Chain A
Amino acid sequence: MPAAADCPLDLGRGTGWVVFSERAIVAFRPEPLRIEVGQPFSLLLNVCTRRNNPAELVAVDAQMPEHRHGMNYRPTIVSAGEGRFRAEGLVFHMPGRWELDIDVRAGSETERLSHEIIVK
């Protein structure tokens, strides 16, 4: 079983977000660090169980809850192993409040963790 250090919350560069549930913890940050309206960006994610074991990233998506529309682009996910992932091809095409949805599988359970991001 991988040691806790295999699933660090620190993504480097001293910034990023952490979301968690009873079963999973996800640390992530955008690349480039500043999300600009209409500009493609990626997410670097470390996906862990609460016991600090690597977990699986199933999907990443985003929507604007007020307007009930999603992105015009579908991100793809590439695994770097040991709970590390890169989601590529996200575009927030309007300013405002976006809800980022991160679907994670830990063991046999899949759950959705969400995080709000406001872009101006």
Chain B
Amino acid sequence: MSRWSVFLLVVTLLLGAGTEGWANLQWSQDEIRAIGAHGPWPPPATVEPSNRVSGDRAAVALGERLFNDTRLSGDGTMSCASCHQVDHGWSDGRARARGRAELDRRTPSLWNVGQSHWFGWDGAADSLWAQSLRPIVDPLEMASDSGRVAALLRGDPTLGCFYRRAFGTAPGSDDEALLVDAAKALAAFQETLVSPRTPFDEFRDALVAGDRAAAARYPDAAQRGLKIFIGAGNCNACHFGPRFTNGEFGDVGIPFFVRPGEVDSGRLGGLAKLMASPYNRLGAYNDDKSGASSLRTRHVQRLHANFGEFRVPGLRQLRDAGPYMHNGHLPTLRDVVRHYSEVSPDRLHSDGVPLVRPLGLSADDQADLVAFLRSLAADPPPRQSPPTECRAG
């Protein structure tokens, strides 16, 4: 071996120290650890303690029927599925949701919603069942009431049968309690909406397991985008963990004026609604009497900085889920990446090192980041038809 060859070998070894050569990119141990934090997927199924029918098959069946039942709305024309459409990733493809009128925010996707701890773009609900109840009685959305929902459960033999199997008793005389039970069945159904494994998950598992051949199948562009995501972009500061969200709130520079002279205060208003709600985890309808599941609600604090903050969305199944952001302000994933590349620091008012800052990405970098985000989606398997008959057990 010539002196020059030895020199090249030494340089190569030194440059590679502390890194693993996967596919065409080098990944350091810190990077592998950061990537590993975005899995495994899917997570193990859990039961939500504030909902006594969480995970119950009869409740899931009841919830799915109610989810698609227009009789839940005040005039019998809208169901939950009117806005949360399976063919639009459990959203509706619109920039702003449409109930009785056009609303100020986008219909959030329901993928993986059962793993959240705050619900709605402003986190005004602290459980999936409380969030499920809100649009039913909101005059701008389904415009219904507890009496109508209770009458439906009492009067429809199939719904009544599923109710008995799920809750162990026939629908009772307390309208308000039946409204909450309907919401808990809706939540039990939505907890089953777990997104499929994706090309990213295959790469992540291969990287963690040391399977070079499998890791190399992940496209180079997605790998380069991932490197930006966990590196210069610092996107995983907020888009953390297997769902790619820390479940909290942030102001990322999206305009919060909803019309001239009127703003959407986001999390600040959401916390006020949360604390005023009789359906929060501190109230009588929480089935977890230990208090353990209400810990976040007991300790959350309302801060001035919450003004204009909105929930950090998970990034799984984003590929076909536009428009994006809390108000549908950005039509495509390319627009989202361009936003983070060019966002105005003046708009964000950050004192310290800003979490959101203009990344100044090249066109190629932006395309790579989009390729990575698209790799967080896969076609879900066809949904099985819900049971149509109920046999009292």
In contact, A95 and B240 (Cβ under 8 angstroms): yes
Q: Judge whether B347 is part of the interface by a CB distance below 8 angstroms.
A: no
In angstroms, Cα B180 to Cα A87, docked, is 33
List residues 82-99 of chain A with CB under 8 A from any CB of chain B: 88-89, 91, 93-96
A37 touches B241 (CB 8 A): yes
**Residue B86 at the A interface, CB < 8 A?**
no
Kindly supply a per-residue 1/0 record for chain A positions 57-99, scoring 1 wherever the CB is within 8 Å of any chain B CB and 0 otherwise.
Answer: 0000000111111011111100000000000110101111000
Q: Given the interface contacts A66-B352, A120-B33, does A38 sit within 8 Å of B237 by beta carbon?
A: no
Question: Is A16 engaged at the interface, CB distance under 8 Å to the other chain?
Answer: no
Q: Which of B57-65, B205-213, B298-306, B319-327 contacts A (4 or more CB under 8 A)?
A: B298-306
Which A residues are in CB contact (< 8 Å) with B220?
none
Report whether A95 and B247 are in contact in the complex, using a CB–CB cutoff of 8 Å.
no
Set of chain B residues within 8 Å of A66, measured between Cβ atoms: 352-353
User: Are the C-beta atoms of B299 and A38 separated by less than 8 Å?
Assistant: no
Are A67's CB and B246's CB within 8 A? Answer: no
| B301 with A74: CB separation less than 8 A | yes
**Residue on A nearest B351 in the bound complex, by CB:** A68
Q: Does A40 contact B (CB under 8 A)?
A: yes
For A, the interface residue count at a CB cutoff of 8 angstroms equals 23
B37 near A96 with CB under 8 A, answer no
Complex: A89 Cα to B300 Cα, angstroms: 8
Cβ of B238 within 8 Å of any chain A Cβ, yes or no, is yes
Q: Which residues of B contact A76 (CB under 8 A)?
A: 298-299
Cα distance A89–B295 when bound, in Å?
7
Mark interface residues in B31-51 (1 if CB within 8 Å of A CB, else 0): 001100100000000000000
Which secondary structure characterizes the binding site on chain B? Answer: loop
Cβ-based interface call for B100 (8 A): no
B248 partner, pick from A67, A72, A88, A95, beta carbons under 8 A: A72
Per-residue CB proximity of B223-241 to A under 8 Å, as 1/0? 0000000000000111011
Check A74 against B299 for contact (C-beta < 8 Å): yes
B299-A75 in contact (CB<8A):
yes
Q: Which of B33, B240, B301, B305 contacts A69 (CB 8 A)?
A: B305
Contact A38 B240 (CB under 8 A): yes
A93 touches B301 (CB 8 A): no
Question: Is the CB–CB distance between B237 and A40 below 8 Å?
Answer: no
Q: Is B275 an interface residue (CB 8 A)?
A: no
For A38, list chain B residues within 8 Å (CB): 240-241, 246-248
Contact across chains for A93 and B37 when beta carbons are under 8 A apart: no
Q: Which residue from chain A places its CB closest to the CB of B295 in the assembled complex?
A: A40
Interface residues of B (CB under 8 A from A): 33-34, 37, 236-238, 240-241, 246-249, 295-296, 298-301, 303, 305, 350-355
> A37-B241, A67-B350, A67-B355 known; 13 other A-B pairs, CB under 8 Å?
A37-B240, A37-B246, A40-B296, A69-B352, A73-B300, A75-B299, A76-B298, A88-B295, A89-B295, A93-B248, A94-B240, A95-B240, A96-B237
A-B contact pairs, 16 of them (CB 8 A): A37-B240, A40-B296, A40-B299, A66-B353, A69-B305, A69-B352, A71-B301, A72-B301, A74-B301, A88-B295, A93-B246, A93-B248, A94-B237, A94-B240, A95-B236, A120-B33
